[in-house]
A and B are shown apart, each in its own frame.
Chain A
Amino acid sequence: MRKFLILIAFATPALADSDYIAPVTDPLTQAECSACHMAYPPSLLPAESWHKIMTSLSDHFGEDASLPEADAAAIEAYLTGQTRPAAQMRADPETPPLRITELPWFKREHEGEVSRRALEKAGSMANCTACHRGAERGYFEDD
C-alpha cells in the first residue's frame, strides 16, 4: 500500500491537493534562471536531469546560457538537493528528461486546456506565469 501511494505521488508531482509546487528559494538560482524564463520548481525534474542541464549550458535548448563554473556548480547543487533521483520518478537515469513540457503528467494536465490564442499570447508552453499567475510563488491553479 505504501509503495502504491509513493508511486502515485511521483507520477503527479504535488498537483493532487493544492496545486502547490515548492518554488525556487535560492537567490542565485532564482536570478540566473529567470533571465529567460521563470525559475522552474526543482522537484519537477529528477536530479540527473538537472545535472545534465547544468553541465550543458553552452547549448541550453538551442541557446548559449553559459555561466561561470562556480555559479553553475552552486545552482546544480541547489537544484539536485531539492528533488529526487530518476529511479524514484519513473524516469531513466541514463536518458533523463530535459523538457518539463514533455513529461507525461505535464502533457496530460495541459491537454485541451490551452487554446491557440492563449498559447500565442504566452509565447510558449515554457511561460507558466502567462496562465498560472502565482507560479513563481508555487501556485499552479488555473486562472
Chain B
Amino acid sequence: MKPLILCLAALAATPALAGDTTPEALIATYSAEAGQPADPARGEALFLAETGGGKPDTPSCTTCHTADPTRAGQARTGKAIEPLAPRANPARFTDTAHVEKWFGRNCNSVLGRDCTAAEKSDIITWLTGL
C-alpha cells in the first residue's frame, strides 16, 4: 500500500504537462498576437532587469530563476526550480496552460502587471537560444 501512495505522491508532484505545444509554436502565437517579430535581446533585458513596480521580495525574474536560466534556480522557500531554458529542460514551454499560469503569476509578482504578448515572445525566444 505504502509504495502505491508514494508513487501517487510522486506523480502528483510532477506538474501534469499536457505537451500540447512547443516553444516555437508559442513564439509564433505570441508574436502574431503582438503584431511584431520576437526580439531575444529585449527578452534578455526584461528578464535580467529590476524594473520595480512589482512586489518588494521579487524584484526580478532572476530572484528565482537566476541570471543563468540554463541552470536550476530556487524559490524563496529554498525549493529548487528546474532550468527555464528548453535546451537544459526539454519540458519547458510545452504546456500552454502551465506557461500562461506562470507568466501570469510571475509577471505580476515582478512587474506588478501582466506581461504583453510581445514580452512573452521575446522572453521565450531568448530562453530558447540559450
Query: Is A37 within 8 A of B56, CB to CB?
Result: no
Query: Is A64 within 8 A of B106, CB to CB?
Result: yes
A64 to B77, CA, bound (A): 14
Query: Is A123 within 8 A of B105, CB to CB?
Result: no
- Residues 57-73 of chain B: 1 if any A CB is under 8 Å from the residue's CB, otherwise 0? 11000000000000000
Q: Which residue of B lies closest to A26 (CB)?
A: B12
The 8 closest A-B pairs by CB, nearest first: A123-B78, A127-B78, A62-B57, A126-B77, A37-B77, A30-B12, A64-B108, A27-B12
Within A110-134, which residues are at the interface with B (CB < 8 Å)? 122-124, 126-127, 130
Chain B residues near A63 (CB-CB < 8 A) = 55, 57-58, 76, 105, 109
Residues in B lying within 8 Å of A, measured CB to CB: 5-6, 8-9, 11-13, 15-16, 55-58, 74-79, 104-106, 108-109
Chain A residues near B8 (CB-CB < 8 A) = 27
Q: Which residue of B lies closest to A29 (CB)?
A: B12
Query: Is A136 within 8 A of B109, CB to CB?
Result: no
Query: Is A58 within 8 A of B79, CB to CB?
Result: no
Chain A residues near B11 (CB-CB < 8 A) = 27
Query: Is B104 within 8 A of A123, CB to CB?
Result: no
Q: Of the candidates B13, B58, B77, B109, which one forms a contact with A30 in the assembled complex, judged by CB atoms under 8 Å apart? A: B13
Residues in A lying within 8 Å of B, measured CB to CB: 23, 25, 27, 30-31, 34-38, 58-59, 61-66, 122-124, 126-127, 130, 136-137
Query: Is B78 within 8 A of A130, CB to CB?
Result: yes
Q: Of the candidates B9, B55, B76, B78, which one forms a contact with A64 in the assembled complex, judged by CB atoms under 8 Å apart? A: B55
Chain A residues near B106 (CB-CB < 8 A) = 64
A contact face: mostly helix, strand, loop, or mixed: loop
A74 to B45, CA, bound (A): 39
Query: Is B15 within 8 A of A31, CB to CB?
Result: yes
Query: Is B79 within 8 A of A123, CB to CB?
Result: yes
Query: Is B77 within 8 A of A123, CB to CB?
Result: yes
Known interface pairs A25-B9, A63-B109; 10 further A-B residue pairs with C-beta atoms within 8 A, sorted by A's residue number: A27-B12, A31-B15, A36-B75, A59-B55, A61-B76, A62-B55, A123-B77, A124-B78, A127-B78, A136-B9
Query: Is A122 within 8 A of B78, CB to CB?
Result: yes
Of A36, A37, A64, A122, most buried by chain B (CB within 10 Å of CB) is: A64
Chain B residues near A38 (CB-CB < 8 A) = 79
B49 to nearest A CB, angstroms?
A: 18
A119 to nearest B CB, angstroms?
A: 9
